[in-house]
Amino acid sequence: METPGPEPKAATTVEVSDEEEVKAIAADAGSVTGEGKRLDAAAAAAATGSAAGGDGGEEEEKPPVMVPMPLNTIAAILSLKREPRPTPEDLARLSPEERDERLAFFDSLEEVNDEFEEFQKEILREVKETGRYMVHESYFTEQGEMQARMEKEWAKIDWTGVKFGDWDYDDPTCCQPL
């Protein structure tokens, strides 16, 4: 039997001093290029040793398992910014009804934006203090389920009438100037 030594730090554990360093670390994790690792529910369960199994008998209720949020997810959350309110020039182009509608929409987002900024501060504080942000392992299951639903709905979209960058600039009828 081996004598247990100190636990190695997880790959997502980092020491940071400010927000810029968090963003730099996250860029290294691949969030900017999109090459970061995707951690799905099965991988999270395997990483925490909580994969389903057993003899089918009654199990004791275990405390929730917390796992580190991937750095590319942290970087994505920290990179999101509040959408600016419409400028007076933007509003001047709208009808009075559209202007009121647009302003009401931005007013309704204020509380959501404030809550999200608090969430960003919480993540940044935790990353500065501990080098990671811990989430319940169900986070990965929920994210996987949401991704599966999005992919299912995306597959239902009829894309036959849409051209994606398939332009022939030598053909004068392909691109029509406005």
Q: pLDDT tens digit string along 100-115?
A: 999 999 998 898 999 9
pTM of the model: 0.51
DSSP secondary structure, 71-132, as one string = HHHHHHHHH--PPPPPPHHHHHTS-HHHHHHHHHHHHHHHHHHHHHHHHHHHHHHHHHHHSS
| Eight-state DSSP code of residue 4 | P
Q: Confirm if 146 and 104 have CB atoms less than 8 A apart.
A: no
Count of C-beta atoms within a 10 Å radius of residue 156 = 6
Handedness of CA 34, 37, 43, 45 (dihedral sign): negative
In this prediction, residues 37-44 reach a mean pLDDT of 42
pLDDT at 82: 87
pLDDT interval class at 85 (50, 70, 90) = confident
Looking at the chain, the number of H-run helices and the number of E-run strands are: 6, 2
Has residue 54 got a pLDDT over 60? no
pLDDT interval class at 5 (50, 70, 90) = very low
pLDDT at 99: 92
Residue with the bigger pLDDT between 31 and 98: it is: 98
